[in-house]
Amino acid sequence: MSLSGLGDTGKAQPPPALFPAPESDTPTPGRRRGGAPQNRPSQDGSAQKGDDAGRQLVFFGADAAEPTVADLAGLLAGPGEVVRMGGTARLSVQVDAAWRVHVLVAELASRGLAASWEPTEGARHAVRTSYTRVLKPLAAAWLHGTTKRPPAAFHLTGRRLRLWLAAAGTPEPPDCFLLRLGADDQECWEPIGVALASAGLAGTLLGPGEGGPAYRIAGRRRLARLAELVGGPPTATPADAWPT
């Protein structure tokens, strides 16, 4: 199966080895049972139990809304980049593993965006969309000249975190997870940390000399919160690469 993306007319690259291409990449609810949602958000943003006492829907969790292009802000919170050309824009991100390519191409396709990839130095892969008007609002919100910076009202939803995790999340046993940042995006680091804290995921900023740039999310309670927000692992994800 080609993963060159919907509408990609360029020469298709063979998919990275080791992992099969998933047919779809919709979040798998990890703490819900079948039936229509009955929960309502409470004043503190958590979910109240409905008639199905065994089910809990996390407000702003990845399974709480349909995929939208606005979710791609999660890639920009991490090492993703966006560039403009005329009235269009293109999103790209470099990843360190083949499974991430499969997951991100599927996520982009679910939002109607053509995607392609190519190998880069150090066994990495560059995943990118085509130039499209659909991404112009995202670029306008995040770019100040050529500098990437989150908009003032930026916040992290489950779907945004899911994309960030798929692109640049790394487990750090026994009870930590790293969410990697863009190496040249220093102006983003602090406001991204504020957004993480607002989502209940206050982390420690690691600088380039400490194995970063990245935010370290530490502790079982915060990792459980992260797992609730991002939903179950995508199809191609290794068992130990996703919070549970």
pLDDT in tens, 66-80: 899 999 999 999 999
Q: Are 176 and 218 in contact (CB under 8 A)?
A: yes
Number of domains in the chain: 1
On whether residue 18 sits in a domain, the answer given is no
pLDDT in tens, 135-152: 999 999 999 999 999 999
The answer to whether residue 54 is domain-embedded is: no
Q: d(Cα 230, Cα 60) in Å, to the nearest integer? A: 9
Q: What is the pLDDT of residues 7-50, one digit of tens each?
A: 333 444 455 554 444 344 444 433 333 333 333 333 333 333 33
Total residues belonging to the chain: 244
Asked if residue 42 belongs to a domain, the reply is no
Q: Classify residue 7: in a domain, yes or no.
A: no
Q: Is residue 52 included in any domain, yes or no?
A: no
Helices (H), 12-121: 73-77, 98-110
- List the Cα angle 208/168/85 in 5-degree steps: 95
Domain presence at residue 10: no
Q: Is residue 140 part of a domain?
A: yes
Domain CATH number, residue 178: 3.10.28.10
Give φ, ψ of 77 to 5 degrees: -65, -30
Residue 116 domain-assigned (yes or no) = yes
Question: Helices marked H in 21-78 — which ranges?
Answer: 73-77
pTM above 0.85, yes or no: no
> Domain containing 154: what range?
69-230
